[in-house]
Amino acid sequence: MPTVVVGTAGHIDHGKTALLRALTGIDADRLPEEQARGMTIDVGYAHLAFDDGVELDFVDVPGHDRLIGNMLVGAGEIDAAMLVVAADDGPRPQTLEHLQLLDALGIADGVVVITKADLVEPTRVGAVTAQVRELLRPTSLAAAEILAASAVTGAGINELRQTLRRTRDRVVERGMAGPVRLAIDRVFTSKGRGLVVTGTLRGGSLRAGETLRHEPGGEGARVRELQVHGTPREQHDGGRTALNLAGATADQLHRGDVLTVGYGVRGTDRILVGQPTTARPIGRRWLPKAGSALRLHLGTDQVDARVRRVTGVDGFAILDLERPVATFEGDRGLLREPGRGEVLGGVRVLDTSPPRGVSRRRMTPSRLEALAVAVATGSIEAIERTRILLHGSLATDLRDDVADDAPTMPRSVRFAPDVEAALADVAIETVAAHHRDAPLSPGLPLARARGAVLRRLRSLATVERRDRDATEAAISRMVDALVAEGRLARRGDALRDSSRLDDLPAPLLAAMDRLEAALAVPAPEGLTEAAAAAGCPPDGVRALQADGRIVRVAPDLAWAAATFHALAASALAAARIAPLTPAAFRDATGTSRKYVVAILEDLDRRGILERTPEGHIPGPRAPRLDPVAVEAS
User: Do 367 and 468 belong together in one domain?
Assistant: no
In a domain, 452, yes or no: yes
Q: What is the C-alpha to C-alpha distance for residues 426 and 446, in angstroms, rounded to an integer?
A: 13
pLDDT value for 627: 39
Q: What is the C-alpha to C-alpha distance for residues 393 and 389, in angstroms, rounded to an integer?
A: 8
Q: Which residue has the higher pLDDT, 191 or 427?
A: 427
Q: What is the C-alpha to C-alpha distance for residues 148 and 87, in angstroms, rounded to an integer?
A: 8
In a domain, 504, yes or no: no
**CATH value at residue 109:** 3.40.50.300
The CB density around residue 78, as the number of other CB atoms within 10 Å, is: 25
**CATH value at residue 392:** 2.40.30.10
Number of domains in the chain: 5
Q: Is the pLDDT of residue 405 over 80?
A: no
The SS3 of residue 16 is helix
Q: State the pairing for strand pair 145-148/110-115.
A: parallel
**In 3D, which of 258, 249, 251, 147 has the Cα closest to residue 201?**
258
Least confident of 187-196, 277-286, 306-315: 277-286
Mean pLDDT in residue range 71-97: 82
Q: What is the pLDDT of residues 261-278, one digit of tens each?
A: 988 899 999 999 998 754
Give the E-state strand segments of 452-591 in sequence order: 488-491, 494-497, 550-554, 557-560
**Residue ending a domain, choose from 260, 289, 324:** 260
Phi, psi (rounded to 5 degrees) for 72: -75, -20
User: Do 243 and 274 belong together in one domain?
Assistant: no
DSSP letters along 262-305, please?
A: SSS-EEEEEEEEE--TT---SSS-SS-STT-EEEEEETTEEEEE
The SS3 of residue 440 is coil
User: Do 454 and 477 belong together in one domain?
Assistant: yes
Percent of the chain with pLDDT over 70: 88
Q: Is the pLDDT of residue 67 over 50?
A: no
**In 3D, which of 346, 341, 345 has the Cα closest to residue 331?**
346
User: Do 19 and 168 belong together in one domain?
Assistant: yes
User: Do 484 and 513 belong together in one domain?
Assistant: no
Q: Is the pLDDT of residue 127 over 60?
A: yes
Percent of the chain with pLDDT over 90: 57
In a domain, 355, yes or no: yes
Q: What is the pLDDT of residues 532-541, one digit of tens each?
A: 999 999 878 8
Q: Is the pLDDT of residue 458 over 70?
A: yes
Number of helical H runs and strand E runs in the chain? 17, 30
User: Do 48 and 147 belong together in one domain?
Assistant: yes
Q: Is the pLDDT of residue 618 over 80?
A: yes
pLDDT value for 279: 41
- What angle (nearest 5°) sits at the alpha carbon of residue 221, between those of residues 215 and 222? 140
In a domain, 384, yes or no: yes
Per-residue pLDDT band for 40 (boundaries 50, 70, 90) equals very low
Q: State the pairing for strand pair 239-246/206-207.
A: unpaired
**CATH value at residue 588:** 1.10.10.10
Mean pLDDT in residue range 325-344: 86
Q: Is the pLDDT of residue 35 over 60?
A: no
Q: Is the pLDDT of residue 633 over 90?
A: no
Q: What is the C-alpha to C-alpha distance for residues 530 and 534, in angstroms, rounded to an integer?
A: 6
Per-residue pLDDT band for 41 (boundaries 50, 70, 90) equals very low
Per DSSP, 597 falls in state H
pLDDT value for 184: 93
Per-residue pLDDT band for 628 (boundaries 50, 70, 90) equals very low
Per-residue pLDDT band for 457 (boundaries 50, 70, 90) equals very high
Mean pLDDT in residue range 167-191: 86
Q: What is the C-alpha to C-alpha distance for residues 417 and 388, in angstroms, rounded to an integer?
A: 9
Nearest-Å Rg of the Cα atoms of the chain is 34
Q: Is the dihedral of CA 77, 45, 112, 283 positive or negative?
A: negative
Our CA dihedral for 379, 385, 386, 392, rounded to 10 degrees, sits at 160
User: Do 152 and 39 belong together in one domain?
Assistant: yes
Q: Which residue has the higher pLDDT, 629 or 46?
A: 46
In a domain, 536, yes or no: yes
pLDDT value for 43: 57
Reported as half-sphere exposure (CB side, CA atoms, 13 A), residue 121 has a value of 3
User: Do 393 and 487 belong together in one domain?
Assistant: no
**Residue ending a domain, choose from 364, 391, 409:** 409
Q: What is the C-alpha to C-alpha distance for residues 559 and 536, in angstroms, rounded to an integer?
A: 15
Q: State the pairing for strand pair 239-246/293-298.
A: unpaired
Q: Is the pLDDT of residue 286 over 70?
A: no
User: Do 488 and 527 belong together in one domain?
Assistant: no
Contact present, 97 and 72 (Cβ < 8 Å): no
Q: Is the pLDDT of residue 402 over 70?
A: no
Our CA dihedral for 314, 320, 324, 330, rounded to 10 degrees, sits at 0
Q: What is the pLDDT of residues 473-509, one digit of tens each?
A: 999 999 999 999 999 998 777 898 888 755 667 888 8
Give me the residues paired with residue 582 across strands. Answer: none
pLDDT value for 73: 59
Per DSSP, 461 falls in state S
In a domain, 600, yes or no: yes
Per DSSP, 620 falls in state T
Q: What is the C-alpha to C-alpha distance for residues 494 and 435, in angstroms, rounded to an integer?
A: 12
Q: Is the pLDDT of residue 239 over 80?
A: yes
pLDDT value for 490: 87
When the pLDDT of each residue in the chain is averaged and rounded to a whole number, the result is 86
**In 3D, which of 141, 73, 79, 71 has the Cα closest to residue 113?**
141
> What domain range includes position 599?
509-632
Q: Is the pLDDT of residue 311 over 60?
A: yes
User: Do 333 and 209 belong together in one domain?
Assistant: no
Q: What is the pLDDT of residues 361-401, one digit of tens each?
A: 999 999 999 999 999 888 889 999 999 999 999 998 654 44
Q: State if pTM tops 0.85.
A: no
Instruction: Please write down the HEC assignment for all residues of 361-409.
Output: HHCCHHHHHHHHHHHHHCCHHHHHHHHHHHHCEEEEECCCCCCCCCCCC
User: Do 14 and 145 belong together in one domain?
Assistant: yes
User: Do 447 and 558 belong together in one domain?
Assistant: no
**Residue ending a domain, choose from 450, 466, 497:** 497
Residue burial 197-219, b: 16+ Cβ < 10 Å; e: rest: bbbbbbbbebebebbbbbbbeeb
Least confident of 229-238, 290-299, 422-431, 502-511: 502-511
Give me the residues paired with residue 616 across strands. Answer: 580, 611
Mean pLDDT in residue range 219-245: 91
Which range has highest mean pLDDT (8-22, 300-314, 404-418, 455-469)? 455-469
pLDDT value for 13: 85
In a domain, 503, yes or no: no
Q: What is the C-alpha to C-alpha distance for residues 93 and 578, in angstroms, rounded to an integer?
A: 76
pLDDT value for 501: 56
Q: Is the pLDDT of residue 546 over 80?
A: no
In a domain, 502, yes or no: no
How far separated are the first and last CA of the chain, in Å rounded? 58
